[in-house]
């Protein structure tokens, strides 16, 4: 008997033809010729390609790595309340944050300090991948390429991360460079002291093959600012210093590292136009609360109109949906993008972003949300 099987084949062929005729549909997770079909595959390839030492650099946290583990575990505790007969066949993942049109609610996080360990093109490749997918890039002061070169690599290098240490004038001078290169915002961060990363300490890790700090030196920024960034010879900045620089900055500032209502309010009082809720992926100090746990209270305290970007623990498209439902306007993707970079450079990053967007799309549809704006705390089931 072949009738039933033949009919099934015909239906499958018709479905494939229908998918070809409708390229705006992105539910092609099975019928794909892409090298990577899942984020899990990218993760495994990144681990396979990197040495144990470089893998530890990418994947470690500080101390006992309690915060690192809890950042992701807290997402595992989220349960969605999925409505029956309310699903959406083709939800719209687009949104607008900080004036940017995003294909889904995500930025590239400003991770750096040696991303060329994973691939020599670093943020150059990341920016091109982000542009191809339709999201914006935050670029760190410690990137493996100069802020100008990253800006030239793609049109989406829009937010420059600047650490508030050392001389205020040197910080402002670098902000002026960022403005001249076309950046639209400054992401202000704070670095009180060195991080206690034991896996890196045991490996005696060093960034090999570095040609020199690309943002510092003749014709760029004063190397003294880099020395202070690394050596911590001066007292750490106060809120008064931060407020003085934010108010004098040539670009509007958002403050990264917000993990409490107190610091959210202090950031806004200092002149920030937005907040970046983060515990730096558990890479600064251990045993701080998972970032997701702090997000709802911060959103409630500052109201609905203050832009909030979130990171720390995002590993899936469904994590993005949970973060947005709990108060974020968008997430920033750091470590997971580094996995893509390590796995296969620009292509690995692009594929990572595509898979995240597609899983986010799927999650939206199941939750009965036609648009990102419809995501709210109502989709989160009560804790058991």
| pLDDT confidence bin for 207, thresholds 50/70/90 | confident
Element (H, E) at 255: strand 253-258
Q: pLDDT tens digits, residue range 160-200? A: 999 999 899 999 999 999 999 999 999 999 877 788 898 98
Residues 351/132, Cβ–Cβ less than 8 Å? no
Q: How many CB atoms are closer than 10 A to CB 16?
A: 12
| Separation CA 245–CA 243 (nearest Å) | 5
| pLDDT confidence bin for 223, thresholds 50/70/90 | confident
| Separation CA 248–CA 141 (nearest Å) | 19
Q: pLDDT tens digits, residue range 14-27? A: 333 343 444 455 55
Contacts of residue 273, Cβ cutoff 8 Å, sequence gap at least 6: 252, 253, 254, 307
As given in the structure block, the two tokens for residue 275 are: 């907040």
Report pTM.
0.90
| Separation CA 264–CA 146 (nearest Å) | 30
As given in the structure block, the two tokens for residue 161 are: 């991360």
Q: How many CB atoms are closer than 10 A to CB 47?
A: 16
Q: How would you class 101 by CB atoms within 10 Å of its CB: exposed for 0-12, middle for 13-18, buried for 19 or more?
A: exposed
Contacts of residue 72, Cβ cutoff 8 Å, sequence gap at least 6: 313, 315
The yes-or-no verdict on residue 11 having pLDDT over 60 is no
**107 closest CA partner among 289, 336, 295, 300:** 336
| Separation CA 328–CA 311 (nearest Å) | 9
Residue 114: predicted pLDDT: 77
**214 closest CA partner among 165, 145, 264:** 145
Measured CA distances, 199 to 43, 53, 88, 109, 314 (Å): 19, 8, 45, 23, 22
Q: Angle at which helices 39-49 and 52-59 pack, to 10 degrees?
A: 130
Q: pLDDT tens digits, residue range 232-256? A: 788 889 999 999 999 999 999 999 9
Residues 297/77, Cβ–Cβ less than 8 Å? no
Residue 2: predicted pLDDT: 40
| pLDDT confidence bin for 5, thresholds 50/70/90 | very low
Q: pLDDT tens digits, residue range 326-343? A: 999 999 999 999 999 999
């Amino acid at each position: 008997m072949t009738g039933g099987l033949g009919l099934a084949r015909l239906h499958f062929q018709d479905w494939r033809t229908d998918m070809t005729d409708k390229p705006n549909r992105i539910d092609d997770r099975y019928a794909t010729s892409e090298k990577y079909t899942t984020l899990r595959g990218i993760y495994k390839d990144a681990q396979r390609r990197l040495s144990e030492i470089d893998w530890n650099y990418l994947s470690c946290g500080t101390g006992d790595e309690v915060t690192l583990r809890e950042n992701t575990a807290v997402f595992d505790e989220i349960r969605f309340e999925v409505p029956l007969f309310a699903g959406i066949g083709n939800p719209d993942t687009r949104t607008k944050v900080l004036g940017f049109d995003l294909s889904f609610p995500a930025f590239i996080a400003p991770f750096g300090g040696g991303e060329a360990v994973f691939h020599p093109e670093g943020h150059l490749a990341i920016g091109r991948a982000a542009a191809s997918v339709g999201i914006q890039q935050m670029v760190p002061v410690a990137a493996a390429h100069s802020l100008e070169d990253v800006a030239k690599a793609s049109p989406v290098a829009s937010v420059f991360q600047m650490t508030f240490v050392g001389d205020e004038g040197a910080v402002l001078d670098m902000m002026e460079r960022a403005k001249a290169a076309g950046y639209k915002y400054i992401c202000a961060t704070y670095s009180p002291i060195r991080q206690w990363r034991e896996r890196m300490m045991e490996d005696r890790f060093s960034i090999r093959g570095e040609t020199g700090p690309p943002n510092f030196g003749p014709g760029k920024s004063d190397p003294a600012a880099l020395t202070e960034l690394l050596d911590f010879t001066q007292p750490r900045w106060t809120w008064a210093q931060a407020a003085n620089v934010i108010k004098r900055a040539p670009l509007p500032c958002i403050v990264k590292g917000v993990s409490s209502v107190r610091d959210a309010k202090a950031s806004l009082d200092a002149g920030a136009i937005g907040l970046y809720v983060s515990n730096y992926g558990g890479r600064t100090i251990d045993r701080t609360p998972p970032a997701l746990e702090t997000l709802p209270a911060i959103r409630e305290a500052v109201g609905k109109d203050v832009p909030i970007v979130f990171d720390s623990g995002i590993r899936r498209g469904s994590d993005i949906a949970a973060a947005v439902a709990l108060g974020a306007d968008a997430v920033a993707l750091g470590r997971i993008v580094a996995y893509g970079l390590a796995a296969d450079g620009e292509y690995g990053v692009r594929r990572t972003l595509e898979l995240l967007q597609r899983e986010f799309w799927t999650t939206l549809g199941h939750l009965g949300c036609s648009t990102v704006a419809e995501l709210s705390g109502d989709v989160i089931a009560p804790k058991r």
